[in-house]
Structure 1
Amino acid sequence: MVSFSARTMLLGSAAAAALIASPALAQEAPPATGDTASNQETQAEPAQANDQEIVVTARRRNEVLLDVPIAVTAYSGEQLSRQGALDITDVGDTTPNVTLETSRGTNTTLTAFIRGVGQQDPVAGFEQGVGIYLDDVYLNRPQGAVLDIYDVERIEVLRGPQGTLYGRNTIGGAIKYVTRRLAATPQFKARTNLGLYDQADLVLTASAPVADALRIGGSVARLSRSGWGKNYTTGEANYNKDIWAARGTIELIPTETAWLRLSGDYTWDKSNARGGHRLIPSILTKQPVLDDVFDSRGGLTDPKQKVTGGGVALHGEAELNDWLTVRSITAYRKDKSATPIDFDALPSIDLDVPAIYRNKQFSQELQAVIDRGPLAGVVGAYYLDANAQNIFDVRLYTLGALIGAPGFTAATFGDVDTKTWAIFGDFTYDFTPQWSVSLGGRYTNDKRRAQVLRKSYILGGSPELGGDAGYGAGIPIATTSDFSGRRTDTAFTPRASVTYKPNRNHTIYASFSQGFKGGGFDPRAQSTQAPVQTPAGIYDYMAFEPEKVNSYELGWKAALGRLQVATAIFNADYKNVQIPASVGCIVNGVTNFCGLTTNAGKARFRGLEIEANYAVAENFAAAGDKLSLAGTLGYLDAKYREFLTIVTTSPAGAVIPPTEINLAPYRKVQNTPKWTMSGSLDYTTPMAGGRLNLNSTLSYRSKSQQFELRTPMLDQKGYALLDANMVWRSGDGRYEVGLHGKNLTNTKYITAGYNFLTQNIYTGDFVLNPLTGNPIPAGGLGQEGVLTAYYGNPRQIFVSLGFNF
């Protein structure tokens, strides 16, 4: 037994250490629960859940991670609570080779990358590379995908192509957000967070059985904080939060082998638009760079920032016999985002983009889950009917003043319909207790229809956006695009794996899978531009081709006494990588704003992932003490092997005839650091009739680029984040008090940005005006120059209080 002073020192040391999520590698048989969420029958959460016993449904059946031949990381709801996680982006810090960030300008649009695959642009026409699932319902658009963490059972992150097990195929990976099932006894839970920047969060959850077979429940959340900075033009708080959210559920359980769940959720986000931070002085008005990276001068205030969205889902499951279970998932979702995007982040109307995004989707999924002796698997069918619309103006008023076109605006109306259906299946056969083989396949049919209308206005913008305070609705002077397009992409994508279990403590697997992401249409593109004469699929201005990937993976998962470990090495070969970009273009002799989507030829991603957890000791300082170490390591070598383009200048700047060249040596994969790491220490001890948990997380990400071409000042160097948490729970689980610190070193790091400066296409260096020494705005888009950054969260310290009855 150590002395009181030694124990106090131990507690203090543990509070400054690090905790991360590691794979659930327990060997106990999982309970028989549905895929949507595990049954929650207890009145309150346990005082300390074992992270090694999380049951996941990565293969559409309940398994512990030790037995799953897939690279997947799982976080339990209790674990997320201990770590003070606030939204889904928090899990990206401790999952190898994963980037999850809030997109530019909002609180609720998600930018997700897994193993180098993702999608940064949220406009209609672009499919996500990473699938986000809310209770097995695929979210077709990134708007509203930054899910706040409340009433969550677990979060699973699957890395690599997914298609033989899930309704919607995704080429990079999938993130499953799983909410809790309703309990068999009445429950009421309340949780609040109070902290710096006037943080005030309140989540209320209640449920009760109203009959033997009927349960109802719901949650309401109020999430708020003042801004981390200030907009010096509008006077508004910058990076504030003003969100209401609600979720309701009705569950019918007529028998032990069948259940039905009707759920709905809705979110109202009235937070201010996030203003970007200029990294260079303004060229025309000579305004200096602001001192605080969370401050802005952006003057665009219309439309008023507002994001609303939600949906309803009906889940049904019936066990027809001891080997066959059928499931149905029917869902409808809809959202609308009104957002002002001030690219130049200045009071002047230089490159201002008011925008409205509208999305809706209907999906239906049917599954038959088979578990008959040595054969287990799933066969299913999926249908998605989705529509994405965006309306946005590009106000180039400073340019208009120069060319005698006051209030010059380029307006875009994009409408993209997606109708996709697929059949899929994946089965595992156990030849012996040690050897098993899995085979799966998917046939996908993607149909897209796009309508794109682009107009130029003077004296204001499009009537749909109301013009602006200075001019009102503008006068149309030209229709620059009136495009209608259709395309159908089909693909069969197989998957195969071999698993060897020398004993119950080890799983070794090798797998091959193909991934596919359909082609589409860029609603920002300009149909009146003459296509560049290059090989098919490189530039088609309006349309782009499907992506395809061949992925190979070798993994080992083991329970070595106190050490739990999961490793994977992988190699992925990509073709036709879709690279969206925004550029300046000349339309009818006038500078305009155009999209240019490249199918960049070929890329190769290969890497290594390690997740480990070591139980150091128990009962060493006091009866019931537990101390554990954990760590993750991700290494990703992402390279373009072919990036074809047309150039008219040499590296030395000399003008040459149009030439097709391979720019792969000068391009890197965006949002993809080579190294992602985290290390941990977690300490739990009995205290005051309950349990006290001390943990913290130290995570590191090496340098990464915002875009394929190096962008000085905007690209982020390597950085580390330190979090620490102290949580006490009563012995019966009814009460909880926590103190949480996130980014304790107050590290400033860039998560997104805009660049519209002229660059050397080989080196990325900015081209300077020889007379003034200023950077030259790219393609005439703005006269002030655009190099604008958005930053990750600063230091946050808050107290949490929880009550469970």
Structure 2
Amino acid sequence: MNRTNKKFVNLTPQINRSLCALAVAAAFASTPLIAQETAPAAEKKGLERIEVTARKTVESLQEVPISVTSIGGLELDEKGIAVLTEIQQFSPNTTLQNSRGTNSTLTAFIRGVGQQDPLWGYEPGVGIYIDDVYVARPQGAVLDLLDVARIEVLRGPQGTLYGKNTIGGAIKYVTKPMSGDAELNIQGTVGSYAQKDLKVTGQMPIVEDKLYVGFGYGNLNRDGFGEYLISALPNQDLENYNKELSAARLTLEFTPSDDLFFRLAWDKTTDDSNAKGGYRLLPSLLTNAPVPDSVFDSYTSLPTENKVELEGISLTANWDISDTLALKYIGSKRESYSPTNIDFDNTPLDIFDVPAIYDDNNTTHELQLNYRGDGMSVVSGLYMYDGESCGQFEAILGVFGRSLGLPGLTREVSGCNNSESTAAYVQGSFDLSDKLSMTVGARYTNEEKQANVSNGLVYGPVYPESNWIPGYTRPDGNLVPPVLGTDTNADGVLDAPKSKSWSRFTPRVGLEYQANPDLMFFASYSQGFKSGTFNPRATVNEPAANPEIVDSIEVGMKSDWSDNLRVNLTLFSLDHKDRQYIGVIPSDDASVLNQYLSNVAASSAKGIEAEVTYVVNDNLTFDVALGTYDAKIEENNAVPPLLGISNTPEYTFNFAANYVLETSIGDLMFNANYYYRDDYRLFEDSDLLQQNGYGMLNMSVSWQHDDGHWYASLHGKNLSNKEYMVGGYNFVGDNGDGTYTPGLGGDNTLIGYFGDPRTVSLTVGYRF
């Protein structure tokens, strides 16, 4: 492998796109041109009825006029899907990947809309929800799946029912409801890289038919895929890409009467996995450590310890006022804390080290009034969000500082970006005739942001927590000055938070035509917005960036063409305006990190999303998911200019097969899927970090005894052992002639983070 090639990509052969097209064509080949009358869904033996809550009410997937993928708990178990990021394989035009630096921080894009930078204050473009409770920050959002009923992926703006920060879409994590019976499930997994997982879930009635308690606990451990070849500090754990995570849930459900229901739920996740070290794609100019042989190996001058903590509590109350009217309340409080060590340059020298702390907490309240009657259904509500997002990071440029005769050099940035948001929404569906219906919705949101940022140079190595590095303490009197605020004190120093408010009306309107009980056509227009915000890296008293707006049009079809063929198809176009872009002001000074945030770009995109299920017989099922994406930069005032859309390939394709073999000791379920992602770039303003198209093969077999107690499964993932990038850092200039200009810290810092290699795991469980 040529480590200094101009474009740093996985050098596996690119799969011929015509093969993907041929496979999809074959899947559609048996589709009749005219829909046939079929029996009601409840009587069908082939296709199952899939229920979703995409519109905040329980509906069949085939009745929902939006592009949505739902994967149930049984399917998750059979496929061995263990973490949220694996869902991207089964949802077209969806990117869910581990961010750089930690196992638990999420990079999420849907239809090319998302947010790559996980710094406090930046808002996501894809909303994550746990039982309808919003997870506001990407830290901890790579959820390990524990006691889950299903995962829903809603593609396209969800600004009416879900509000701000869902301009790309929303992902809903729905936990299993109580059955009312005493249950206990113990499950253990062993696998590659010394994987050792234990999961215990269960429930028990306290008062029969009234009060239940449920619980879940998972302890997940794995050695690293690679190692830190050199660490500048003694007594460090040198595993890289390891896993050391625990997750717990407690749920109390109370049903005092047939029309009243209460649920109190608590969850906590603690990820003590090491900080992830990236792979140097260019040799360092300042150290002679060679480029590692493995993409999972690295070097570091920081401690390898790392932590991501996520904890939340929620209360749900539901009152069925009548057969048609229901009142629902959802309240929550969530907190996250993450002290992290990120070695940007990934060398044994302190060329560009970034230790940081993230500290977030938020409270939400939502009150819904829902009506469902003959020919009409209405979902309405009031929503309030109050969140505080704070942090601090140190950009330690030690080598550069010492070259100036200083004890070191650190750019310190700290601050908070707080938000208060209130909203009112209503969405109704109305029958215009026996076959034609209309959906109309609107949401009004008012939001206020307050932010303060301190940013400046400290002449010495500084760490957010002095005990991280033995012998280092924060120099007294070197607190950096505030740069972002509104008022000044007598000394002319900014000392009050800067604030700004926005309000937004986001509509949705759609038409649905039910040609027959098994064929629906729909068309819709929807709008969503991502919150305005202040720059958490501000170096001057700059204004806030305004919200981003996405307008989307969808035309689609939901169809069960026969008892064994389901074809769901969506064509979409979107206009993404006022895009917030994080730019860098060029400087010849290697210590300068002048980043600004402003609305300087606009883009448009169009594409197709197709999901096909073909039940060959009672034992064999095929599934196809295809996404196409064609984007164009419409406005480009960014510096440096945008070159394209990040983290979004032009094609995503998945072909899956499921076969059930009936035996005398229980059923054997064989699953296999082939997933293909076309070329994509990691950063919008650079072609240096690009990933060639790659394919991934996964296979599994699961077994369950006829008595329902014992079960087991064997899963092989990425069996072809493809190397593919999911994140990176780019602090180097491309001169266009095979040479590079050193960036911040004075080195060629071009770093890649990679997805999981080939793994095999065996799970055995027992249900009491």
TM over 0.5: yes
Specify the alignment match of 2:106 in structure 1: 110
Residue type of the alignment partner of 1:777: P
Specify the alignment match of 1:489 in structure 2: 502
Residue type of the alignment partner of 2:569: T
Which of 732, 755, 758 aligns to 1:795? It is: 758
Specify the alignment match of 1:156 in structure 2: 152
Write the deviation string for residues 737-770 of structure 1: whole angstroms up to 9, x where unpaired. 111000000000000000100136xxxx4773xx
Gaps of 5+ in 1: 1-16, 31-48, 529-540, 619-625, 648-662, 769-774
Task: State the distance in 1 between where 2:596 and 2:695 align.
Answer: 35
Query: What is the correspondence of 1:596-611 to structure 2 with a 5 Å cutoff?
Result: 596-611=596-611
The TM-score normalised by the length of structure 2 is 0.90
Residue type of the alignment partner of 1:493: T
Residues 198 and 423 of structure 1: CA distance in aligned 2, closer, same or farther (over 3 Å) = same
Task: State the distance in 2 between where 1:281 and 1:710 align.
Answer: 19
Residues 616 and 759 of structure 1: CA distance in aligned 2, closer, same or farther (over 3 Å) = same
CA contact (8 A) 2:165 2:531 kept: no
Specify the alignment match of 1:363 in structure 2: 364
Specify the alignment match of 2:161 in structure 1: 165
Specify the alignment match of 2:591 in structure 1: 591
Residues 352 and 241 of structure 1: CA distance in aligned 2, closer, same or farther (over 3 Å) = same
- Do residues 437 (structure 1) and 402 (structure 2) align? no
Which of 652, 667, 672 aligns to 1:676? It is: 652
Task: State the distance in 1 between where 2:639 and 2:222 align.
Answer: 48
- Do residues 739 (structure 1) and 741 (structure 2) align? no
Specify the alignment match of 1:631 in structure 2: 624
Query: What is the correspondence of 1:681-692 to structure 2 with a 5 Å cutoff?
Result: 681-692=657-668
Task: State the distance in 1 between where 2:261 and 2:724 align.
Answer: 46
Query: What is the correspondence of 1:269-280 to structure 2 with a 5 Å cutoff?
Result: 269-280=271-282
- How far off is 1:601 after superposition? 2.6
- How far off is 1:366 after superposition? 0.6
Write the deviation string for residues 37-78 of structure 1: whole angstroms up to 9, x where unpaired. xxxxxxxxxxxx987322111111111111110100000000
Task: State the distance in 1 between where 2:134 and 2:228 align.
Answer: 36
- Do residues 570 (structure 1) and 572 (structure 2) align? yes
- How far off is 1:630 after superposition? 1.4
Write the deviation string for residues 221-251 of structure 1: whole angstroms up to 9, x where unpaired. 1000011000112351100000111100000
- Do residues 207 (structure 1) and 203 (structure 2) align? yes
Specify the alignment match of 1:308 in structure 2: 309
Which of 124, 131, 146 aligns to 2:142? It is: 146
Residue aligned with 2:74, SS: helix
Specify the alignment match of 2:449 in structure 1: 448
- Do residues 191 (structure 1) and 187 (structure 2) align? yes
Gaps of 5+ in 2: 1-22, 29-37, 232-236, 486-497
Task: State the distance in 1 between where 2:584 and 2:335 align.
Answer: 27
Specify the alignment match of 2:15 in structure 1: none
Write the deviation string for residues 563-601 of structure 1: whole angstroms up to 9, x where unpaired. 101000001011111122566657xx7732232224233
Residue type of the alignment partner of 1:733: G
Task: State the distance in 2 between where 1:608 and 1:253 align.
Answer: 44
CA contact (8 A) 1:125 1:416 kept: yes
Residue type of the alignment partner of 2:623: A
Specify the alignment match of 2:695 in structure 1: 720
| Identity level (%) | 38
- Do residues 755 (structure 1) and 730 (structure 2) align? yes
Specify the alignment match of 1:4 in structure 2: none
CA contact (8 A) 1:257 1:319 kept: yes
Specify the alignment match of 1:706 in structure 2: 682
Task: State the distance in 1 between where 2:76 and 2:47 align.
Answer: 10
Task: State the distance in 2 between where 1:85 and 1:61 align.
Answer: 26
CA contact (8 A) 1:251 1:262 kept: yes
- How far off is 1:191 after superposition? 1.3
Specify the alignment match of 2:301 in structure 1: 299
Residues 277 and 372 of structure 1: CA distance in aligned 2, closer, same or farther (over 3 Å) = same
The TM-score normalised by the length of structure 1 is 0.86
Task: State the distance in 1 between where 2:367 and 2:39 align.
Answer: 30
Query: What is the correspondence of 1:29-178 to structure 2 with a 5 Å cutoff?
Result: 52-166=48-162, 170-178=166-174
CA contact (8 A) 1:275 1:295 kept: yes
Task: State the distance in 1 between where 2:750 and 2:411 align.
Answer: 21
Task: State the distance in 1 between where 2:584 and 2:660 align.
Answer: 51
CA contact (8 A) 1:554 1:569 kept: yes
Task: State the distance in 1 between where 2:328 and 2:155 align.
Answer: 25
Task: State the distance in 2 between where 1:582 and 1:86 align.
Answer: 38
Specify the alignment match of 2:404 in structure 1: 403
- How far off is 1:468 after superposition? 4.0
Q: Mean Cα displacement is larger for which, 696-705 or 680-689? A: 680-689
Residues 440 and 80 of structure 1: CA distance in aligned 2, closer, same or farther (over 3 Å) = same
Residue aligned with 2:86, SS: helix
Write the deviation string for residues 348-396 of structure 1: whole angstroms up to 9, x where unpaired. 0000000000010000001011012111020101100001111100000
Specify the alignment match of 2:324 in structure 1: 323
Specify the alignment match of 2:11 in structure 1: none
Residues 451 and 585 of structure 1: CA distance in aligned 2, closer, same or farther (over 3 Å) = farther
Residues 205 and 646 of structure 1: CA distance in aligned 2, closer, same or farther (over 3 Å) = closer
CA contact (8 A) 1:457 1:475 kept: no
Residues 494 and 522 of structure 1: CA distance in aligned 2, closer, same or farther (over 3 Å) = same
Residues 475 and 277 of structure 1: CA distance in aligned 2, closer, same or farther (over 3 Å) = farther
Residues 550 and 421 of structure 1: CA distance in aligned 2, closer, same or farther (over 3 Å) = same
Specify the alignment match of 2:217 in structure 1: 220
- How far off is 1:476 after superposition? 5.6
Residue type of the alignment partner of 2:84: I
Write the deviation string for residues 133-162 of structure 1: whole angstroms up to 9, x where unpaired. 001000011111111011000000000111
Residues 28 and 796 of structure 1: CA distance in aligned 2, closer, same or farther (over 3 Å) = farther
Task: State the distance in 2 between where 1:747 and 1:576 align.
Answer: 37
CA contact (8 A) 1:134 1:177 kept: yes
Residues 54 and 734 of structure 1: CA distance in aligned 2, closer, same or farther (over 3 Å) = farther
Write the deviation string for residues 4-44 of structure 1: whole angstroms up to 9, x where unpaired. xxxxxxxxxxxxx99xxx9xxx98679xxxxxxxxxxxxxx
CA contact (8 A) 1:457 1:476 kept: no
Task: State the distance in 1 between where 2:565 and 2:57 align.
Answer: 26
